């Protein structure tokens, strides 16, 4: 066999193998793709390594679980099990008591994996971290929960987070901020299980912020309105007794404030203005002890005389009467006496004081 012949045989064999493979393919049969080899070191997968880290976490070894999850995240970079491993890192840090690291790891999860199947777990952990900060009296918890409510205002635990913010300010005795936080719970989450507590606490915080003999009665009026709304919605609620007692205190305080305003005008010689406020105390707060004092300041008005005689309740039936032989002359009736003049003139009531 010559050299040219051998070379020709090699060329024919080279081109005939692919053609043969193409001819042997049958469209009606599914092509079996080769199975992928396991990824990662030591032929482990991201799933198997995550499950191992989860088992260690459940056993209580949070330090080792955190290290295993860190290895999964750095080795595989992305994917469902990488996301779960990153979330488990934050959970392990939280269980270990490192709130700062837990918040940092959870922030990375939210940035790398937004809107995923673990969104509910992320929300629960974010609330737990923020609530733990608040329980320690740290403002960082307010920041975390405010971010949670802002990013997902109608999430599964947003109402609880907003109520928790109000509790932080309540403990710090920041009455204005607490009332505003509770007001957001009432306005945004009408079906929330925290609505009843929020309604009462908002009214109480407004009262506490303005407690004392201040001249401006408007904040007390706002607290009174809020307490009235609470008792209307929850007449037998768990705060009903305290709300009624607080409402009585507010009405007494409001009566006192208006009485002092009337006394001020009386001292300035403005008689009509003073009487307006005295009457307002009597009409608006009839059960207050200040009502008696206001009545003593008001002039005693005499009842006006009747212009016509009272009519009988039942009209008498007409009966025929015989004509008298001689008509009797009518008796002289005494003219009605005019009421005695008085210096006190009725003062026109112009309504509630502004």
Quote the pLDDT of residue 132.
Answer: 96
Quote the pLDDT of residue 43.
Answer: 57
Q: What is the DSSP string of 155-202?
A: STTHHHHHHHHHHHHHHTT-HHHHHHHHHHHHHH-TT-TTHHHHHHHH
Quote the pLDDT of residue 10.
Answer: 62
CA 141 to mean position of chain CA atoms: 17
Gap between the Cα atoms of 177 and 351, Å rounded? 34
Q: Which tokens belong to 298?
A: 């008001």
Gap between the Cα atoms of 49 and 186, Å rounded? 46
Task: Please name the residue that has the structure tokens 């009235």.
Answer: 228
Residue 198 lies in a domain: no
Q: Which tokens belong to 195?
A: 């609505």
* Nearest residue to 41 via CA among 76, 66, 70, 80: 76
Sign of the alpha-carbon dihedral angle for 268, 273, 277, 279: positive
CB 217 within 8 A of CB 208: no
* DSSP-based three-state secondary structure for 90: helix
Per-residue pLDDT of the chain (354 residues; tens, 9 = 90+): 566 665 666 655 555 544 444 444 454 555 454 444 444 455 589 999 999 999 999 999 999 999 999 999 999 988 899 999 999 999 999 999 999 999 999 999 999 888 777 888 999 999 999 999 999 999 999 999 999 999 889 888 999 999 999 999 999 999 999 999 999 999 999 999 999 999 999 999 988 887 764 556 677 788 889 999 999 999 999 999 999 999 888 888 888 888 999 999 999 999 999 999 999 999 988 888 899 999 999 987 654 454 444 444 444 444 444 444 444 444 444 333 333 334 444 344 444 444
Contacts of 299 (CB under 8 A, 6+ apart): 275, 344
Residue 85 lies in a domain: yes
What is the number of domains present in the chain? 1
* DSSP-based three-state secondary structure for 141: helix
Q: Compute the half-sphere exposure of residue 295: CA atoms within 13 Å on the CB side of its CA.
A: 11
CATH of the domain at 67: 1.25.40
Q: What are phi and psi of 172, to 5 degrees?
A: -80, -5
Gap between the Cα atoms of 16 and 22, Å rounded? 10
* CA distances to 47, 59, 160, 225 from 213, in Å: 68, 61, 35, 19
Quote the pLDDT of residue 301.
Answer: 62
Contacts of 63 (CB under 8 A, 6+ apart): 92, 96
Residue 104 lies in a domain: yes
Contacts of 102 (CB under 8 A, 6+ apart): 90, 91, 93, 94, 125, 129
Quote the pLDDT of residue 6.
Answer: 56
Residue 81 lies in a domain: yes
To which H or E segment does residue 71 belong?
A: helix 62-76
Quote the pLDDT of residue 264.
Answer: 93
Residue 68 lies in a domain: yes
Buried b (16+ CB within 10 A) or exposed e, 54-69: bebbeeeebeebbebb
Residue 28 lies in a domain: no
Quote the pLDDT of residue 172.
Answer: 94
Gap between the Cα atoms of 79 and 66, Å rounded? 18
CB 145 within 8 A of CB 127: yes
Residue 91 lies in a domain: yes
CB 203 within 8 A of CB 226: yes
Residue 105 lies in a domain: yes
- Which residue segment(s) compose the domain that 65 sits in? 42-109
* CA distances to 21, 26, 164, 214, 332 from 18, in Å: 5, 15, 71, 98, 145
Quote the pLDDT of residue 207.
Answer: 87
Taking the whole predicted model, whether its pTM rises above 0.75 is answered as no
Gap between the Cα atoms of 99 and 89, Å rounded? 12
């Amino acid at each position: 066999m010559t050299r040219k012949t051998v070379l020709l045989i090699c060329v024919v064999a080279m081109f005939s193998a692919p053609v043969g493979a193409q001819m042997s393919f049958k469209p009606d049969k599914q092509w079996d793709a080769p199975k992928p080899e396991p990824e990662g070191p030591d032929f482990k997968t991201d799933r198997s390594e995550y499950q191992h880290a989860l088992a260690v976490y459940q056993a209580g070894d949070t330090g080792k679980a955190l290290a295993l999850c860190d290895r999964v995240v750095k080795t595989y970079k992305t994917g469902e099990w990488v996301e779960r491993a990153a979330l488990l890192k934050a959970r392990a840090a939280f269980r270990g008591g490192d709130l700062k690291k837990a918040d940092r790891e959870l922030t990375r999860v939210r940035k790398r994996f937004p809107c995923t199947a673990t969104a509910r777990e992320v929300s629960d952990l974010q609330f737990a971290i923020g609530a733990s900060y608040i329980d320690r009296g740290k403002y960082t918890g307010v920041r975390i929960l405010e971010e949670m409510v802002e990013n997902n205002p109608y999430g599964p635990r947003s109402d609880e987070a907003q109520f928790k913010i109000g509790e932080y300010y309540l403990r710090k005795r920041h009455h204005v901020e607490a009332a505003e936080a509770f007001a957001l719970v009432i306005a945004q989450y009408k079906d929330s299980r925290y609505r009843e507590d929020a309604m009462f606490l908002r009214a109480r915080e407004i009262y506490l912020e303005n407690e004392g003999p201040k001249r401006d009665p408007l904040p007390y009026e706002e607290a009174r309105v809020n307490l009235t709304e609470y008792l209307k919605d929850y007449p037998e609620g768990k705060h009903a007794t305290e709300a009624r007692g607080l409402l009585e205190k507010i009405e007494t305080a409001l009566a006192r404030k208006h009485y002092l305003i009337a006394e001020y005008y009386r001292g300035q010689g403005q008689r009509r203005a003073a009487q307006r406020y005295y009457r307002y105390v009597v009409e608006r707060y009839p059960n207050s002890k200040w009502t008696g004092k206001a009545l003593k300041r008001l002039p005693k008005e005499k009842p006006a005389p009747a212009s016509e005689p009272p009519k009988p309740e039942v009209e008498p039936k007409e009966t025929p009467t015989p004509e008298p032989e001689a008509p009797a002359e009518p008796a002289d009736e005494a003219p009605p006496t005019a009421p005695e003049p008085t210096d006190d003139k009725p003062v026109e009531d112009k309504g509630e004081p502004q």
